[in-house]
Structure 1
Amino acid sequence: MTRHLLPLALAAAIAFPAMAGATDLPTPPRIIVSGEGEATVAPDLAVLTLSVMREAKTARAALDANNDAMAAVIAAMKAAGIKDRDLQTAGIQITPRYNYTNKPDGSQEAELVAYQVTNTLSVRVRDVDKTGEILDKAVSLGVNQGGGIAFTNDNPAATVTEARKKAVADAMAKARTLAEAAGVSLGRVLEITDQNIRPAPMPINAKAFDAAAGAAPVQAGENAYNVQVTVTFELK
């Protein structure tokens, strides 16, 4: 005899059909609990956002100056061991800058004084210990706008799995406690849903680093990966 196993959602739908004129079957008693789990791991990847801004009387001159500065930054990244695949232009912006003067009639007169060109580079640093050194080189060679660091993990799957197991165990423990207090027994698991919560990046302003002071002190710390689950149990 061949048996066919139906998916849980389909089986549940068949077990409690909503047919016109049929007597509604009572929904079996159930309990819904939530659980949380967290697992930590040291980051193995730093993502830097570095911006170079140059200003000149014409857009062409500003762009040329910016190109030279960014080319030096990219060359320094490659010399430090950063591969091409870990260097990505995140945006180039050309903005006119005006001076405004008040006129006797109350209006303002705008005078174009310069063009600003900003080039933003995203850098993935796979040797986290070199992050401070790379930041120092970048600032020395012309990075002068914004910037930030986000410490993350290239493949956090194993850590998320650990957090997920802890979350399910937490939900199971809560369900057993509640069932025991109510004088009932837990039955089969009807449904499990989960939600991953990634660690928030820790931004650091690139302008805060003093190139003359040597490599910037950077602490990577740990990343915490959180999982929340909701488990529905049948009650006996």
Structure 2
Amino acid sequence: MKKIRQVSFLALALATLLLFSSCLSSRQQNSVVRTIEVTGTSEVVLQPDIASFSIQVQEQAPTTGEAQALANAKMAELLAVLRKNGVADKDITTTGLTLRPNYDWIDQKQVLSGQLASQSLSVTLRNLASIGTVIDQLGQVSSIQLDSVRFDKEDKTSSIQEARKKAVDDAFAKAEMYATSSFMKVGKPVSISESSFASNGYSVRAKTMLASESLAMGTEVPTGSLTVSASISMVFEMY
């Protein structure tokens, strides 16, 4: 009788151990989290509402004072054109002001040719409809340099948000496609990270303009469009 009890106890212990092992194995399998990582991208097209460009004047004369007076007079003409066309003072910034001697090389010798005075401005134009007119009027001032007209949008906040939302939608769509192809379902996002974001204006080259140049036709400066883009990396649970 005692022997039968011992055998029964051992059988019960073995059964309990097997049941525990089975539960543990099942729990371990359930604790394995299957994931998939995808990248969502998007682009949003928007219209520019500002233009920026730089203007430079440079004059040479026998003395620094004379060169500076010539440069100042020319700069005054440019500023008058800008202000007449509604450009506010806060949108006109001096980016360079130089007074220096200028030398030429003659017979392998450095010879003083005069004194140079130069000044450059950075200008932001908010009325894009007037950009052709402004450039034409600036071009009436003799021997100036106008560099790289650049178009941009001053406030891109809403466009950036739209691009991010579209990137998230794109990531979800990709995860759903991969899950369906693998006979699985998409769970909750495990992590989200913005891997890159780009927003670039573009430039238009403009050459030095001379007052003697004929302006039979007004300058046309198409503004085109801009693009903001977003790229988001997301990790999803899969089951």
TM-score range, shorter chain: 0.7 to 0.9
Query: Deviations 1:34-82 (Å, cap 9, x if unpaired)?
Result: 1111111111111121111222222222222111111110111101111
Judge conservation of contact 1:52–1:142 (CA < 8 Å) in 2.
no
Alignment-mate amino acid for residue 231 of structure 1 = M
Judge conservation of contact 1:50–1:143 (CA < 8 Å) in 2.
no
**Identity across aligned pairs (percent)?**
25
C-alpha distance in 2, partners of 1:53/1:118?
4
Q: Which residue of 2 aligns with 1:66?
A: 71
Query: Deviations 1:123-158 (Å, cap 9, x if unpaired)?
Result: 111110101111111121246225121111111111
Looking at CA atoms only, which structure, 1 or 2, has the larger radius of gyration?
2
Q: 1:211 to 1:72 in 2, by over 3 A?
A: farther
C-alpha distance in 2, partners of 1:27/1:86?
59
Q: What is the CA distance between 1:214 and its match in structure 2? A: 4.5
The question of 1:33 aligning with 2:41 is answered no
> Structure 2 matches for 1:1-236, cutoff 5 A?
28-102=33-107, 108-142=108-142, 144-194=144-194, 195-207=196-208, 212-236=215-239
Q: What is the CA distance between 1:116 and its match in structure 2? A: 2.6
Q: What is the CA distance between 1:196 and its match in structure 2? A: 2.0
Q: What is the CA distance between 1:193 and its match in structure 2? A: 2.0
- Matched positions, count: 206
Q: 1:119 to 1:215 in 2, by over 3 A?
A: farther
Two-structure CA RMSD over aligned residues (Å):
2.1
Judge conservation of contact 1:136–1:211 (CA < 8 Å) in 2.
no
Q: What is the CA distance between 1:174 and its match in structure 2? A: 1.0
> Residue 147 of structure 1: SS of its match in structure 2?
strand
Q: Which structure has the highest helix share of the two?
A: 2
> Residue 207 of structure 1: SS of its match in structure 2?
coil
> Residue 216 of structure 1: SS of its match in structure 2?
coil
Structure 1 gaps of 5+ residues are: 1-25, 103-107
C-alpha distance in 1, partners of 2:59/2:112?
16
C-alpha distance in 2, partners of 1:178/1:223?
32
C-alpha distance in 2, partners of 1:156/1:204?
24
Structure 2 gaps of 5+ residues are: 1-30
Q: Which residue of 1 aligns with 2:11?
A: none
Q: What is the CA distance between 1:208 and its match in structure 2? A: 6.3
Q: 1:191 to 1:158 in 2, by over 3 A?
A: same
> Residue 221 of structure 1: SS of its match in structure 2?
coil
C-alpha distance in 2, partners of 1:93/1:214?
35
C-alpha distance in 2, partners of 1:74/1:146?
14
TM-score, length-scaled by structure 2:
0.78
C-alpha distance in 1, partners of 2:50/2:66?
36
Alignment-mate amino acid for residue 104 of structure 2 = N
Judge conservation of contact 1:91–1:120 (CA < 8 Å) in 2.
yes
Judge conservation of contact 1:82–1:125 (CA < 8 Å) in 2.
yes
Runs of 4+ in 1 over 3 A off after TM superposition: 208-211
C-alpha distance in 2, partners of 1:228/1:211?
48
C-alpha distance in 1, partners of 2:225/2:64?
44
TM-score, length-scaled by structure 1:
0.79
Judge conservation of contact 2:147–2:207 (CA < 8 Å) in 1.
yes
Judge conservation of contact 2:193–2:232 (CA < 8 Å) in 1.
yes
C-alpha distance in 2, partners of 1:143/1:233?
62
Alignment-mate amino acid for residue 172 of structure 2 = M
